[in-house]
Amino acid sequence: MADLLEPDIGTAIYRSNDPIENLKIRVKLKKVTSSTILPETIFGKTAADDMELMDLRLKRETFPSVHAEQDSEEYIFCWQEKIFSEREWRMYSDKVNCQTVLEQKYHEEITKTR
């Protein structure tokens, strides 16, 4: 009964016969600011005597934002792919910080990518 009251967060189970090594996840991040949300609110209004809003709406439809591609990032993660954070990058760059076998492996990977 409690399940009916909780909102659906979009989880699902997907079964596949493919090997797990073929799993890839695409992540697309878009920058959202108040300036990108505000025009949607303004353009929702319709008034016959408000020509300025109509002009803005026409400009927006004919000239899409040039910055739309610059404000988004997309990356495809493969199965068990290691992505280093800035802190890990700094830490494993210096061989002195690498004590274990795994840390030494990370150091080698970072030095290869430089």
Q: HSE of 61 in the Cβ direction (CA atoms, 13 Å)? A: 7
pLDDT at residue 37 tops 80: no
Is pTM beyond 0.85 here? no
| Average pLDDT of the residues of the chain | 76
4-30 per-position pLDDT tens digit: 666 667 788 888 899 999 999 999 998
Within 8 A by CB and 6+ apart from 29, the residues are 72, 73, 74
CA 49 and chain centroid, separation: 40
State the Cα angle at 26 between 21 and 32, rounded to 5°: 155
DSSP type of residue 106: H
Residue 63 burial class via C-beta count within 10 angstroms: exposed 0-12, middle 13-18, buried 19 and up: exposed
